[in-house]
Structure 1
Amino acid sequence: MLLSADFQFSQAALQAFMDCPRRFYWRYVRRVRWPAPQAQPLVEHEERLQRGWLFHRLVQQHVLGVPEELLARAVQADELLARWWENYLSAHPAQVAGQRYPELVLSASLADWRVMAKYDLVVVTPEKRWLIFDWKTAQRRTSRRKLLARLQTRVYRYLLARAGACLAGGVTPPPAQLEMVYWFANHPADPEHFPYDATQFAADEEYLSNLIMEVCAGQDAADFPLTTQERHCRYCSYRSLCDRGKEAGDVDEMDEVPLAESLDDFDLDLEQIAEIEF
């Protein structure tokens, strides 16, 4: 077993393995830290990362009840951030009655490992609907097909159905009561909704279990081959280690600007993670 016993699988880690097993190996097995920039121009890429983080922080504070006039001061110096903020306030993407849980982290056991997820916002309505909201700040709107194929959509819905009982007095959320909503700061009137059901829950459990077992079966670097889809290499920090080029891809062509790639990036106290043991 190459992974440490306390390793927790995030959607980002699983997506890394799906995109390129060798990328997973460098990042999570060898724990090599960013030998090259993900995208260029580097300064602009870093600005987008910072802006995306600030937007998520603003929404979190707004959900927690910080007055809008105070939060407005934080966006005055950044025209694009101010536009996102105005789009958010105008669209009210999460304007639904219910108990709100911003920046919620859940964890559960699957295939003898821990799986965890950090949610931008979970709302439990009085009618016991469970709504997952995820804020996207990329310039391009990700297509429904791509969102459905990404591990985030699988992991977030599945894990809430597994571990969400801690939010409702021990009552497990029925999968059919769950829905995930992607809201795009640059396309505020065009969110994407993904309902859930028991059939998809069972399929996700089998799929994720098999994927985790496949990852854990690897014994050395040869078991984590390079991707055959070299388009992934353009925005991979490890491309030079794999002789897949030295120049980073154009930041304007990125589908999504990631905010965090693993539990390490979340900088969390593990005691803050709400978990259900199975």
Structure 2
Amino acid sequence: MPIPQDFQFSQANLQDFQDCRRRFQLRYLQRQAWPAVASEPALENERYQRLGERFHRLAHQSLLGVPATRLEAGLDDSQLARWWQNYSAHVGELLASAAALHPEITLSAPLGDFRLLAKYDLLAVYPDGRVRIVDWKTYRFRPKRIWLSQRMQTRVYPYLLVQAGSFINSRKPIRPEQVEMVYWFAEFPTRPETFAYSERQFRRDASDLASLVKIIHEMEEADFPLTDDFRLCQYCVYRSLCDRGVKAGVLPAEGEDQEPGMSGDFSEVGLPLDFEQLPEVEF
């Protein structure tokens, strides 16, 4: 099945392919609509999604210089207010001494015959040359480091910053050793997770991403099998289409150091209505 010439790869659709090739095919190639509930309880899930979107908007506006008093005037939910309080109390330390902040930056670079795209919550440039990728997470749980390390986001974001981020570094190339990625958790503000980058990891990511895109490009329609991990199907809107069950999975309980057993960073806002939207929220 040929991929459209203008198709753009992202950490989200690459993660979908890694998790379930059939879901990648249904969602991005066939654009199959399937109105199933992704997880239960549906109303609570939808509420959590909206709160996650609102938090990202608050963080963006704060970084653009909107006064805190103006932002706080619209805090009509106790959970959102708690996230904002955690942000106000802890993010300043995370960004201390930064010379420049670039919120909601989109980068793109060639990847084989296609392009790789990512939207960053925040890029912070420091006087010593470091460039820190900061990604806001409103997870209900505090994921384990090993799970985060295996996400496509942890590989795509630093790689693409090295490839295409020179314009935020006075037009000077960014070396892999200058880059680190930080996941900051609104529910666990004192426990961010940091991943340093390196030339070795950059070369590995370049090779792996190019190979992955080549595999996808050369696949035939019959080469998109269902995942063998049935846990992922519980939170996928296509589960009934694929005869993998009808009832949606139940939202994970809040807590620390949990393994979500799901994909696509669904847990960040609760409801994976749009696998592409959640990790890279557009405003």
Normalised by the length of structure 1, the TM-score is 0.91
Residue 152 of structure 1 and its aligned partner are, at CA, apart by: 0.3
Deviation at 1:261, TM superposition (A): 3.0
Name whichever structure is richer in helix by fraction.
1
Q: How far is 1:266 from its partner?
A: 6.5
Q: Report deviation, 1:184.
A: 0.5
Q: Give the drift of 1:34.
A: 4.4
Q: How far apart are the structure 1 equivalents of 2:278 and 2:234?
A: 24
Paired position in structure 1 for 2:85: 86
* Secondary structure in structure 1 of the residue aligned to 2:226: coil
Aligned to 1:72: 72
Aligned equivalents of 1:209, 1:14: Cα separation in 2:
11
User: For residues 268 and 232 of structure 1, do their structure 2 counterparts lie closer, same or farther at Cα, with a shift above 3 Å needed?
Assistant: closer
Which residue of 1 is the match for residue 275 of structure 2? 261
Which residue does the alignment assign to 2:263?
Answer: none
Offset of residue 150 of structure 1: 0.4
Residues 1:242 and 2:253 aligned together = no
Q: Which runs of 5+ in 2 are unaligned?
A: 254-258, 261-266
* Amino acid of the structure 2 residue aligned with 1:211: L
**Displacement of 1:33 after TM fit?**
3.0
Deviations 1:205-242, CA, capped at 9 Å, x for gaps = 0011111111112121x211000011000111111110
Runs of 5+ in structure 1 lacking a partner? 270-278
Match of 1:195 in 2: 196
* Within-5 A mapping of 1:14-25: 14-25=14-25
Give the 5 Å matches for 1:33-44. Answer: 33-44=33-44
Is 1:129 matched with 2:130? yes
Can you list the C-alpha shifts for 1:42-74, whole angstroms capped at 9, x where unaligned? 111111110000000000000000011111112
Deviates more, 1:26-35 or 1:199-208: 26-35
Q: Which moved more, 1:1-10 or 1:44-53?
A: 1-10
The whole-number CA distance in structure 1 between the counterparts of 2:202 and 2:82 is 37
Q: Does 1:225 align with 2:236?
A: no
Q: Which runs of 4+ in 1 moved over 4 A?
A: 263-269
How far the C-alpha of 1:167 sits from its partner, in A, is: 1.6
Instruction: State the distance in 2 between where 1:264 and 1:53 align.
Output: 8
Give the whole-Å Cα distance in 1 for the aligned partners of 2:233 and 2:46: 19
Query: Residue 150 of structure 1 corresponds to which residue in structure 2?
Result: 151
Instruction: Report Cα offsets for 1:150-183 as digits up to 9, x if no partner.
Output: 0000000000010001222321101000000000
- The alpha-carbon deviation at position 13 of structure 1 amounts to 0.1
Three-state SS of the structure 2 residue aligned to 1:59 is helix
- Contact 2:90 2:189 (8 Å CA) reproduced: yes
Range 36-45 or range 259-268, more displaced: 259-268
Q: Percent identity?
A: 45
The residue type paired with residue 79 of structure 2 is L
Matches within 5 A, 1:167-186: 167-186=168-187
Tell me, in whole angstroms, the C-alpha distance in 1 between the residues paired with 2:79 and 2:218.
Answer: 45
Partner Cα separation in structure 1 for residue 194 and residue 175 of structure 2: 18
CA distance in 1, matches of 2:190, 2:164: 31
Contact residue 41 and residue 250 of structure 2 kept, 8 A = yes
Instruction: Render the CA deviation track for 1:131-158: whole Å, top value 9, x for unaligned.
Output: 0000110110111000000000000000
In the aligned structure 2, how far is the partner of 1:53 from the partner of 1:120?
12
Deviation (angstroms), 1:96: 3.6
Distance across 1 between alignment mates of 2:158 and 2:280: 20
Q: Which amino acid aligns with 1:85?
A: W
**8 A contact 1:136–1:183 mirrored in 2:** yes
Q: For 2:33 and 2:154, how far apart are their aligned partners in 1? A: 26
After superposition, the CA RMSD in angstroms is 2.0
